Structure 1
Amino acid sequence: MLPLLVAAAVLVGVAGYGWMRYSAQAPAPVSVRPIMLGSMPVGGAAPAANPHAADFDQIAAMTDKLVAKLKERPQDAEGWAMLARTYGVLERYPEAVVAFEKAIALRGDDNVLRADYAQARALAGLPPDSRGAAVAIPVTKPLMAASIGQTVSGTVVLAPALMKQANPEDVVFVFARPSEGSRMPLALLRKQVKDLPIVFTLDDSMAMSPASTLSQAGRVVVGARISKSGSAMPEKGDLAGQSAPVVVGTKGLKIQISDVVMQ
């Protein structure tokens, strides 16, 4: 069961990275999720007959796209960190080490990134390196439910003018990210257009990393993106919308998907 949960988490995580590329052109400080994850609820379609193979095939395909993006943007620290932890889920540990080294070269002061790098080296059978964190962050314990009030909730709707541009099976990603600094999501949820309007509550159980959670943030931006192709990377024709910055604990948000990605 754990490989399926990890795979699902990475699918949503890469999608969150894709949203970051749409919402901010300049690279932001990296905040990475450890290679291994505990439970993370992910909505969406029912599993395929062989869900493990299906999820890992999707991850492999998304990895190829991310590699291509990084050839165009080699200074993107968040992209290298995402690629590294995706390689980790695919158990391609030597490649994960190389990607982590590129991320650390760009963002060497991130202790979570350095802890992930140390873990990747160990899994690849390599000796410790000075770039690894001295104390690794625990990464296998499932995230606990959020404390009372440490959530953001509301409803995602699709603007009437865009309804004809979305199909029922299109994927909808709902997320919260810091209003300042890193644009990597603090909480992520995956649904489908047929689930709209989506009533959501984002909390720490949906975090990408126990070191970067919603309850630790003061103000966040909540948004949603419809992926028409199911790809984690934003594509021309995707539909998106987001809130203004809000404090954690806000309820009753209305996120309207009303913009068309034009990149």
Structure 2
Amino acid sequence: MIPTYFGMGVVLLATSAWVVVSVVYFRSKPRWTDDDARKALYRDRFSEIESETKSRLIEAVDRAELGEELGVALLADLEDEDVDRDEGSSMLVGASLAVVVVALSVALYIHWGDPTAESVRNIGSVVMSANATPGQLDDVAKRLNVRIKSRPQDRASWYYLALTHFKAERFSDAAEAFAMVQAPGDGPLLDVDVHWAQAAFLAAGGILDADARMVVDRIQTYRSDHPSVLELLTLDAVQRRQHERVVSYSDRALRQEISESQRDFFERGLVTARAQLSSARPHLDVFVDVRAIPMEFSWLLVYARAEKAGPPLAVVKRPLDGRDSFNVTLDDAVSMDPTRPISSVDHVYVVARLSVTGTANAHPGDMERRSEILTPDGATVRFSFVDDLGVMEPN
């Protein structure tokens, strides 16, 4: 908007200057030579009338009438000349001003206006439609490319072009277009960055190459656990057979309230990856029965602490989504601090807590179950919030 207002101000100043110059330059100026000639002619005629009166060629009464007529004629002649000049000047000023204003208005519209707006009308409905055909998407892409060529700073057009390429499965083109949506120095746009990361991931063949990793790292600086980004990280780790990373990314996603389809994806990834890990690794399986719990609870936290207390070694957090029970595993993949994994100690105890807030610290009204001291050798710990017992079941 600032360039537009600046341009309008320039036009206003230019128009004002033109009016002032025109008025000063074209205003009627005294033309003494012409007026004096007319006055001299009429003065000569008055002299002739005086001579004729003295010679008694005309009567005194007639002389007075002739003098009056000559005076009136002189005044009218002078006024007509001034009017003609003023009207001519006014018409010239008006015509010039009209031409200048129109020309400047057209130039301003071409430079700051939107002459190509009609060519991209209603493209949003095509891009967002689930029934858009390849031909329609190609047509939209052509129109957007034409517009961007003349308006390279139009971020909205870049965004629609990126979505068009993405929908047409031209992922490399989509990633390039998404990169142009945000101007340098602008604040991050999460939706744009996520689509950009997805396009770069697919353009690289289903892995996070350097370009895709750059976008993912960018997102994680301001949103570390976005489910769609964790999905990309999980898929990349699967491709690279990094099973512990698959467990870690999946668990981070499952700690959030996510859609059912996302939850199913991450739970399957979690189970599949853990099946690839060594069964001899230090870990504990925990079963928690949450039937008939009070409605005010929203979160389940399960964690293992060292026998000598201190911060939790491994933590699992799940939203209470209506299920009757949860099966979770505490191992190094879900360490709270990678420098203090559960495998670094010989004995731990396990706590299961029902929480209203889901925060790390316990609050009044939270319900807890705690196990005995045990060795993280693959044992299964069972908790129930129907009674007061926490029972350990040997492996």
What's the TM-score bracket when you normalise by the shorter of the two chains?
A: 0.3 to 0.5
Tell which has more relative contact order, 1 or 2 (C-alpha 8 A, sep 6+).
1
Q: How high is the TM-score relative to the length of structure 2?
A: 0.29
Please say which structure displays the higher CA radius of gyration. Answer: 2
Structure whose residues are more often helix by fraction: 2
Structure whose residues are more often strand by fraction: 1
